[in-house]
Structure 1
Amino acid sequence: MRVLVTGAYGFIGAHIVAALVAAGHDVVCAVRGARLDTRFPGLDAIACDMARDLRSEDWLPRLAGIEAVVNCAGILRERGADSYAAVHEQAPLALFRACVQAGVRRVIQVSALGDPTDGEFIASKHRADAALAALELDWLVLRPSLVYSAHGSYGGSSLLRAQAGLPGLLPLPGRGAQPLQPIAAEDVGLAVVAALARPQVAREMLELVGPDTMSLRDYLLAWRRWLGFGHAYALAVPMPLVRLACALGEHLGNGPLGNTIGRMLERGNAGAADAVPRLRERLGLTPRSLPRALAEAPSHVQDRWHARLYFCLPLLRVSMALLWIGSGVVGWLTPATDVVAATHGSSLAAGSLLALARITASADLLLGALCLLRWRPHLVLGLMLAMLLGYTFGIGIAWPVHWLDPFGGLLKNLPLVAALALLLATEQRR
């Protein structure tokens, strides 16, 4: 079957694509920019933009030859044109209406488990579910609980894994009693494959949950054991502090810490009592428990690196940004006479030296601010690295005496080069 998958390169979408390919389906990835992902060699990719493709006419040409559609596009937070209304409702509804016009009967909507009153992330997903249910299609809505994988993580699953890996400490929102029914991403992929194989299972909603209801505390402890870390002191964090941290993350950050994850950390995320029996009855699927899924995929040193670096890398990025901003401020506040004195022996005129110092100070301020704002991070970090190398070797060649400065000014640049290289190497998010 030729299947169009939106959000195909996301955390859940990639697992669905992999499961469809393993089952012998011909997958077309609908992604922004139609970029080819080397993880899926040989698959077709077509361009789409869930923030702007809001008319059925935008989708009709993409449905030529398509026999089924799986929509798993989604955003954790709004940014610019990527709004919940557009990405979760308007664009999917335009796609669903185009399916009606093109005669593509089978549509699978990957939604989200939760209460719509918990926020717009879930509410917008559920409104799209309702709009799909009103169309003459063989639709099926799948609502997964917390999705994890032992083979990788993204967003909230990365945050929780890092929380489980903190040295000696396990912070728990409240007391960590929130109920969860986590499901493996691989089992979500199998659910989609099973749904395509059972076209008679249509016009209904299924909750994708794991077989066990467990507390958030037990979930984190299971990951800690899997990572191979020792005992940790459990620290109950008052919920008002958790809400404050999530609110700050929502407005000041761009990672998973925000209102969406905050609702889950406060209320948990579990399905109805009959969710697992219904999955067995309707799809023939029995999801694995978390202990079984982890036992089938032992952790490696790279998993421990990721868990421990998750919180360290943002601190490193912020410290680099502040260092560049501080360097720029000092560059502007240093008197002209001191600038000329520091470059004694240069063949450049005093005026040229001062202008060069002020220009580089301005560049430091700009790059530091952009780094703090995470604007085009690969470009900004690359420019910071180029400037640092220019400073180090330019000054080191023109004034080699500075290599012997009592406080090792130039020598300290060498670990900074390594730190910037580390930030560049770990910038990719998925």
Structure 2
Amino acid sequence: MRVLVTGAYGFIGAHIVAGLGAAGHEVVCAVRGGRVDSRFPGLSAIACDMADDVHVEDWLPRLKGIDAVVNSAGILRKRANDRFTAVHEQGPLALFRACEQLGTRRVIQISALGAASDGEFIASKHRSDATLATLELDWLVLRPSLVYSVRGSYGGTSLLRGLAALPGVLLLPGKGEQQVQPIAAEDVGQAVVAALARPAFAREFVELVGPEVLTLRDYLFAWRGWLGFGPARTLAVPGWLVRIGAALGERLGSGPLGQTMARMLERGNVGGAQASTQLQESLGLTPRSLLRALTETPSEVQDRWHARLYFSLPLLRVSIALLWMGSGLAGWLASAAEVVAVVPDASLSSGNLLVLARLTATADLVLGVLLLLRWRSRLVLTLMLLMLLGYTLGIGIGWPGHWLDPLGGLLKNLPLFAVLLVLLATDERR
């Protein structure tokens, strides 16, 4: 079967693509830019953008020769041109209507388990589900609970791994008694494969959940044990403090920490009493328990690095941004006499030295602010690295005495090179 998968390179989408490929289906990845992901070198890709492709005519050419469609595109929060209304509703509706027009009847929608009151992420997904249900298609809506993978993580699952890996302490909202029913991403992929193999099972809403209900506390301790970290004290974080952190994350951050995730965890994220039975009877699927999934795949040192670095890397990024901003402010506040005092034997005039100091200070300020805002961070980090190299070579060759500065002087640039290289190497989100 030739299957078009939107959002194919996302955390859930990639596992769906892998499952379909393993089952012998021909997968066409519909992604921004139409690039072929190096993880799937043998697959074809076409360009699409759910934020812009909101007309039926946008999708008709892409559906030629397609037997089924899986829509796994989604955003956890709105940003730039990505809006919930477009990405979760208008774009998918155009796709679904194009399927209806061309006769591509099998459509599988990856939605989300939760209540509309949890936030616009859930609400917009459910509105899209309701619209799909009105169309003359063999649709199926899959609503997964908390999705994890032992082989990697992204977004909220990375956040929870990071919490599980904190040194000596386990921070829990309240007492950590919120309930979750986690399901492996690989099992989500198998659910899609099973759905395509059962075309008669259609026009249903299916809750994708694991076989057991866990408290958030038990879920985090399971991951902590798998990562190989020792016992930890639990520390209850008051609800009001969790809500403040979620509000700040919603407004200032770009990661998973936000009000939607906070509400979902506060209310719990579990399926109905018959969810597991429906999965077995309708799709022949028995998802693995978290303990079984963890036991089947032992952790590696890279897993521990990633979990421990989850909170360390943002702190490192912020500290570098503040250092660059502080350097810029110092360059602007320094007087002409102070600038000349740094390089008293300079061949440049004091006026030219002051101009040079102001220009480099401005560059430092701009780069520091851009890094703090995460604007094209790979480019910003590369420019920082080049500036640092320029400072070090220029001053080190022109005024070599600064290498012997008793306070470290140019020698302090060496660890900064290493820090910038680490930030560049870990900048990828997926």
TM range (shorter): over 0.9
Structure 2 residue aligned with 1:222: 222
Query: Does 2:417 match 1:417?
Result: yes
Q: Which runs of 4+ in 1 moved over 3 A?
A: none
In the TM superposition, residue 237 of structure 1 has moved relative to its aligned partner by 0.8
Distance (whole Å) between structure 2 residues aligned to residue 122 and residue 262 of structure 1: 13
Distance (whole Å) between structure 2 residues aligned to residue 265 and residue 176 of structure 1: 9
Query: Does 2:119 match 1:119?
Result: yes
Higher mean C-alpha displacement, 334-343 vs 290-299: 334-343
Structure 2 residue aligned with 1:351: 351
Cα RMSD (Å): 0.6
Query: Does 2:396 match 1:396?
Result: yes
1:233-289 CA distance string (max 9 Å, x none):
001111111111001000011111001211122111000010001000000000000
Structure 2 residue aligned with 1:260: 260
Query: Does 2:50 match 1:50?
Result: yes
1:41-73 CA distance string (max 9 Å, x none):
121110001101111111111001000000000
Q: Unmatched 5+ residue regions in structure 2?
A: none
Distance (whole Å) between structure 2 residues aligned to residue 220 and residue 120 of structure 1: 26
Return the TM-score normalized by structure 2: 0.99
In the TM superposition, residue 337 of structure 1 has moved relative to its aligned partner by 1.2
Query: Which amino acid letter does the alignment assign opposite residue 158 of structure 2?
Result: S
**Secondary structure class of the residue paired with 1:236:** strand
**Secondary structure class of the residue paired with 2:407:** coil
1:116-166 CA distance string (max 9 Å, x none):
111111010000000000000000000000000000000000000100000
Structure 1 residue aligned with 2:330: 330
Query: Does 2:85 match 1:79?
Result: no
1:195-242 CA distance string (max 9 Å, x none):
000000100011000000110000000000000000000011111111
Number of equivalences: 430
Query: Which amino acid letter does the alignment assign opposite residue 306 of structure 2?
Result: H
Matches within 5 A, 1:264-413: 264-413=264-413
Query: Which amino acid letter does the alignment assign opposite residue 60 of structure 2?
Result: L
**Secondary structure class of the residue paired with 1:410:** helix
Contact 2:2 2:26 (8 Å CA) reproduced: yes
Matches within 5 A, 1:33-48: 33-48=33-48
Query: Which amino acid letter does the alignment assign opposite residue 71 of structure 1?
Result: N
Structure 2 residue aligned with 1:21: 21
Distance (whole Å) between structure 1 residues aligned to residue 342 and residue 159 of structure 2: 46
Q: Unmatched 5+ residue regions in structure 1?
A: none
Structure 1 residue aligned with 2:249: 249
1:359-388 CA distance string (max 9 Å, x none):
000000000010111100000011011111
Structure 2 residue aligned with 1:178: 178
Distance (whole Å) between structure 2 residues aligned to residue 117 and residue 333 of structure 1: 50
Percent of paired sites with the same residue: 73
Structure 1 residue aligned with 2:156: 156
Query: Which amino acid letter does the alignment assign opposite residue 17 of structure 2?
Result: V
Distance (whole Å) between structure 2 residues aligned to residue 348 and residue 62 of structure 1: 62
1:323-346 CA distance string (max 9 Å, x none):
000000000111101211211222
Distance (whole Å) between structure 2 residues aligned to residue 397 and residue 354 of structure 1: 20
